[in-house]
Homo-oligomer: A and B are copies of this chain.
Amino acid sequence: MSDVFKPANPDFDRVVCQSFAAQGLMVTLGARLQTVAAGRVVIEVPFTAGLSQQKGFFHGAVLGGIGDSAGGYAALTLLPAGSEVVSIEYKINFLKPAVGDVLRATGRVVRSGRSVSVCQIDIEAIASGKASLCGVMQASFMRVEG
């Protein structure tokens, strides 16, 4: 649905990149901002042993973490200059073990409201070039003045 959105701030790309760069946890996780489009943001993180749960797969916290960020930044792309977003809440369903070389979160805006935005986020594990959906999220974000 991202093609129907008209961003209120033409400079949204820079705003998202600056905020992402300020998140210490994204550095700790090794996460990279892959795509910043109007209403759609993609974040990826390569697998390392330091991101694992007890079976050696990606830990659920990594899914939740990059998913929350992908959703929040997708919401931010559509907001007026000077806006920031804070997470109100999110919910994640785990579909299967997150086994792969790379984890990818794709956040999409479902509803961009004046004060609350709602996003859905798909989380895929990519193994040998093949993507497999391993989590789905639904999240809401509040706009605040920066």
Q: A89-B92, A94-B88, A140-B89 are in contact. Are A64 and B68 (CB under 8 A)?
A: yes
Task: Point out the residue from B24, B52, B55, B66 that lies within 8 Å of A49, measured CB to CB.
Answer: B24
**Residue in chain B with minimal CB distance to A89:** B93
- Decide yes or no whether A95 CB sits under 8 A from chain B: yes
Task: Point out the residue from B28, B111, B138 that lies within 8 Å of A50, measured CB to CB.
Answer: B28
Interface size on A (CB < 8 Å)?
A: 51
Q: Which positions in A face B, CB cutoff 8 Å? A: 19-20, 22-25, 27-29, 48-56, 59-62, 64-66, 68-69, 86-96, 110-111, 113, 115-116, 118, 120, 133, 136-138, 140, 142
Show 24 residue pairs from A and B whose CB-CB distance is below 8 angstroms, ordered by the A residue.
A23-B59, A24-B49, A25-B61, A25-B62, A27-B50, A60-B65, A64-B64, A64-B68, A64-B92, A86-B94, A87-B94, A88-B88, A88-B93, A89-B92, A91-B91, A91-B138, A93-B140, A95-B113, A96-B111, A115-B115, A118-B136, A120-B136, A137-B138, A140-B140
